[in-house]
């Protein structure tokens, strides 16, 4: 069976996975871009934005590994866009332009139905209204034996962790403080939920920590 993995999810030193007050101008919340400076410097990160060059080494190895053997993605609605409530129109097509970086089926959790959205590069967004387990079932079916990558955001990852559905969680501890925002682990007892640290590797710009559900 395919595994549900969180890959390259960046958190601050004070435990925030996004800054406060997400908006069209600040899709990662205020200050949230600083969490991902490690990725922007890597060869993998630069290729995602159509750029040449970039650093190799530990950080790039982890970034590249995050896209290997992925057959489908799951995203929370905030990761798809800043719109709240019913889809009053369907003009919003994501943060990434017409060719998103997923290149697989993507299952977006929402309370409001919307027709599937086909994009360039073999990305199709499917909008799931009946919960996290349904999204995982659909994603695993679409992945055809490959892994499912859980892309976030914070609230969505917390839901899957609390349900003990995440098999592996790769965190990138960025050397920044946000002071406020969306806490990844606040109120979650990861030990009781069965998670253990199985690997920790220092990179050039961040610390990579892998948790697994044993």
pLDDT at position 166 is: 98
pLDDT tier for residue 190 given thresholds of 50, 70 and 90: very high
The model's pTM is 0.95
User: Region 41-55: what's the mean pLDDT?
Assistant: 91
Could you tell me the two tokens for 200? 């920790």
Residue 168 CA to its chain's centroid (Å): 13
Q: Domain limits of the chain?
A: 4-12+56-84+96-174+188-213
pLDDT at position 8 is: 97
pLDDT of residue 56 exceeding 90: yes
| Contacting residues for 18 by C-beta, under 8 A, at least 6 apart | 28, 29, 32, 35, 153, 154, 181, 182
* Complete DSSP assignment for 171-210: EEE-S---SSSEESSTT--HHHHTEEEEEEEE-SSSEEEE
User: Region 135-152: what's the mean pLDDT?
Assistant: 97
pLDDT of residue 210 exceeding 90: yes
pLDDT tier for residue 54 given thresholds of 50, 70 and 90: very high
Terminal alpha carbon distance of the chain: 16
pLDDT at position 43 is: 96
Query: What share of the chain has pLDDT > 90, as a percent?
Result: 84
pLDDT of residue 176 exceeding 80: yes
CATH class of segment(s) 4-12+56-84+96-174+188-213: alpha beta
pLDDT at position 23 is: 84
User: Region 88-103: what's the mean pLDDT?
Assistant: 89
pLDDT tier for residue 88 given thresholds of 50, 70 and 90: confident
pLDDT at position 22 is: 85
């Amino acid at each position: 069976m395919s595994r549900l993995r969180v890959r390259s999810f960046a958190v601050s030193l004070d435990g925030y996975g996004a800054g406060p007050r997400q908006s069209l101008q600040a899709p990662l919340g205020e200050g949230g871009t600083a969490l991902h400076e490690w990725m922007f410097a890597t060869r993998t990160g630069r290729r995602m934005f159509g750029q040449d060059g970039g650093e190799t080494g530990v950080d790039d190895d982890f970034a590249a590994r995050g896209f290997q053997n992925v057959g489908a993605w799951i995203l929370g609605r905030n990761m798809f866009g800043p719109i709240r409530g019913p889809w009053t129109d369907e003009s919003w097509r994501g943060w990434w332009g017409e060719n998103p970086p997923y290149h697989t089926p993507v299952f977006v959790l929402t309370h409001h139905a919307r027709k599937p959205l086909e994009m360039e590069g073999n990305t199709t967004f499917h909008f799931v209204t009946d919960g996290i387990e349904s999204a995982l079932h659909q994603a695993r079916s679409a992945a055809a034996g490959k892994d499912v990558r859980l892309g976030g955001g914070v609230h969505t990852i917390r839901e899957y962790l609390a349900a003990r559905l995440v098999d592996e969680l790769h965190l990138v501890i960025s050397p920044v403080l946000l002071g406020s925002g969306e806490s990844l682990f606040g109120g979650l007892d990861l030990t009781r939920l069965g998670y253990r640290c199985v690997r920790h590797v220092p990179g050039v710009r961040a610390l990579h920590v892998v948790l697994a559900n044993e």
